[in-house]
Structure 1
């Protein structure tokens, strides 16, 4: 479920000034965006939970905790109401991921400490020790569903924060939980007959075991497998590589439409495949192409790489539209209004061929795909000159920090928090450093050793320098990468 913000549009692409007048943001600007635009909302005491690490699912735009007796207007949504009493594991894990990225970009020990608190809470309170996996949500501390009613997507996103933390630290306890949970998912959800992962095993909570969902496959890759697989010891790395190959094949065989050059969001009936149906948006399909390309590169599978690359080009071109500036400039700062004075319309991203609206997570996914293409072949710059600057200015809440599903609003609820905005910042920084031919500096909670390989997120690079800047108790390794490429 998502909330979309309507951005009025024009189908013609016409701007009265060249994109070169609005240069791509530098790496320093991306770091400022992460530290001053995003971080304040997520570093507030209210964001940290009681105990710290029990990150709250719902918060208001000013950062305060949700009060049922006096709901803030942004949380007063009918589609949210059934979820108010629930604390979602996926959101605690996504917030853990966000703190991990903030540390990765800045080396901030507080961000690392908060990521560790999130990991500790996930492991101590939200694992289902009796049945396996993780609880999807709790109500007053109690599991909200039978284990067979939990979606495979929720299980994947329970791991996203653990995956980022493992990538940063190589923590052995976290490694074991990742291995055990992936094995649990593939043992219980793998459907040999249908050649895909099940959505749920048993009906419940509005979900059916007849559903066949793209995200049941895709989000295993996106949430943890692509990041973790190259780091695992044997024999687990080989097993995960095999499972990753199987997942991509499953997505292509079952969900990819060569005729439409897109991935269906679901395939359990003909209505689920329609462009207007749930998850049939540019955001989900471009993420599927991105994961296909990156997995193909890691697996040395040229077919996956080619399909993913071609799909990224097609979808980012299709999703590139324009908005009449007078209809969206209410979201602009005075500085941006002055900077773009005289423009009649500006490039934006849209959600689908029949949906000229967009949400912040779709904007982020489309931008990440576009930045990947720019890193690969230098394309996509005309659109990115505008959409990056528009995101920094119009989407970010510059009073309290963070990005919502609507511009500057609806920032923390059962499907929205820091995950997409911080991944967008990380990919943006790496892309900018490559564009300006500058080294990319990232931080890891690792000791300085020669035998421990590190890489910049999903990408490849040469290591130019390693420096130990932390303490013996909290080792922080600063790494400079050059020649970063997807």
Structure 2
């Protein structure tokens, strides 16, 4: 039975949606900070630290790799990549995927302090800047084909322009590198000068028809992925006048999302708004993953901008979406996918999981990660872990991870590196999980940086706030790590 939106809001306000077990049970069931660090370094990192992942030259990270880490052989395609929705793209190398992989190395360094991961993040960031910027027209190329830029510059999506920056944003957050800062500022200016053509519907999707895309499209991700790709993380760190401009653009984009892409009656975000067909629940991007991501970004933006109305709106939206996305499954039906440890612990009952759409009873890994991250943010706010996260987080660590070769696939243990999937979502999930664990278990969290600026920079644990207990510096004054406590969303 489905509750009405109003009834569900009332139930959530009475803490029914996230009813919490005792604190002792929470500590025993929710992953510890050490669990998350082990997950990142032993579960995820092995796949991404393989030599085949690094590219030629290093930083030119390959778009397509098989589950064992080997490079794509178009004459002998591995089964996990041999799908009709993947194979037509084999001759493309995508900028967004190189940038997302750069982000992944940045997070690995942020969590572990591994200097090799930081160097790979730097190589990726500088490869993007030096080789994939369009020096004639501005912006970044969407992909290269046989080494040559693909698409006219007016046919590149604003989403691709945003995701070209996600790796640069993470590297800048870690280092405050001035070269990367300049690239971020120039690209943000390019996007808003060229794609902001109609204030009523936000940023354009493309400026000219081509590559099966239309200039008439008004897409959620054209707005949303500017926020999660770079704006929210970088804006508070920039010098003036750029900080003020970025915050104003962040405010404008969020206003567009809330006023034009959100359905008050259905309590969800539309994946696109240019035609009634694309607004239907079964249409592209009208899933719980995109909706929860939009609510989560709105909530975090509202906290940054001190907008209480947006904060309340997004908090309620997250609660409703998480309740809709949850489903229960008898553990006996899925136990073969789990380790022997969890088979023993969870036998004889039902467990919750996340689904991408109503009654689908399954999701992709990125949707699972986004739903977990929103749920962890709400748990941090209330201090209550609830009865869902102890299962969904451990399921992600156990079922989704390939424990032979490392990494997470689009599907459990498989299809890890292709034109829309690599390390980005799995490493963000590990970062948010680590921070949430510190907050919920009331333990300090140490994060690693490489900030050379002698002036005291803005230091926060990713999108969140925390009390700084200790700042570890080198003899030369470079900030190496920061230990936080009392972390809040």
Give the structure-1-normalised TM-score. Answer: 0.94
Q: CA deviation at 1:450?
A: 6.1
1:272 to 274, 278, 286: 278
Q: Which residue is equivalent to 1:465? A: 470
Residue 40 in structure 1 maps to residue 46 in structure 2: yes
Q: CA deviation at 1:193?
A: 5.1
Q: Which residue is equivalent to 1:391? A: 396
Q: CA deviation at 1:378?
A: 2.7
1:258 to 261, 264, 283: 264
Residue 171 in structure 1 maps to residue 174 in structure 2: no
Query: Residues of 1 paired with 2:146 and 2:446: CA distance?
Result: 42
Q: Which residue is equivalent to 1:60? A: 66
Q: CA deviation at 1:81?
A: 1.4
Q: CA deviation at 1:354?
A: 4.1
Residue 349 in structure 1 maps to residue 380 in structure 2: no
Q: Which residue is equivalent to 1:71? A: 77
Residue 299 in structure 1 maps to residue 302 in structure 2: no
Residue 485 in structure 1 maps to residue 471 in structure 2: no
Q: Which residue is equivalent to 2:13? A: none
Q: Which residue is equivalent to 1:4? A: none
Residue 421 in structure 1 maps to residue 445 in structure 2: no
Q: Which residue is equivalent to 2:237? A: 231
**Mean Cα deviation higher: 475-484 or 90-99:** 475-484
Query: Residues of 2 paired with 1:346 and 1:139: CA distance?
Result: 45
Kindly indicate whether structure 1 or structure 2 has the higher relative contact order, using CA contacts under 8 Å at least 6 residues apart.
Answer: 1
Residue 247 in structure 1 maps to residue 253 in structure 2: yes
Q: Which residue is equivalent to 1:8? A: none
Give the structure-2-normalised TM-score. Answer: 0.93
The within-5 A match list for 1:60-209 is 60-192=66-198, 194-209=200-215
Q: CA deviation at 1:449?
A: 4.8
Contact 2:174 2:450 in 1 (8 A): yes
Query: Residues of 1 paired with 2:138 and 2:455: CA distance?
Result: 37
Q: Which residue is equivalent to 2:363? A: 358
SS at match of 2:443: coil
SS at match of 2:192: helix
Residue 375 in structure 1 maps to residue 380 in structure 2: yes
Query: Residues of 1 paired with 2:430 and 2:86: CA distance?
Result: 27
Q: Deviations over 1:182-226 (max 9, x none)?
A: 111111101235341000001111111111100000000010000
**Mean Cα deviation higher: 325-334 or 121-130:** 325-334
SS at match of 1:57: coil
Q: Deviations over 1:345-372 (max 9, x none)?
A: 2110111124322000000000000000
Contact 2:471 2:479 in 1 (8 A): no
Q: Compute the RMSD of aligned alpha carbons.
A: 1.7
Query: Residues of 1 paired with 2:241 and 2:164: CA distance?
Result: 23
Q: Deviations over 1:111-151 (max 9, x none)?
A: 00000010111011100010000000001110110000000
Q: Deviations over 1:242-297 (max 9, x none)?
A: 11110001111111001011100011111101111100010100010011011111
**Mean Cα deviation higher: 86-95 or 333-342:** 333-342
Query: Residues of 1 paired with 2:223 and 2:461: CA distance?
Result: 24
SS at match of 1:407: coil
1:322 to 328, 335, 338: 328
Aligned length: 468
Residue 407 in structure 1 maps to residue 406 in structure 2: no
Query: Residues of 1 paired with 2:428 and 2:257: CA distance?
Result: 23
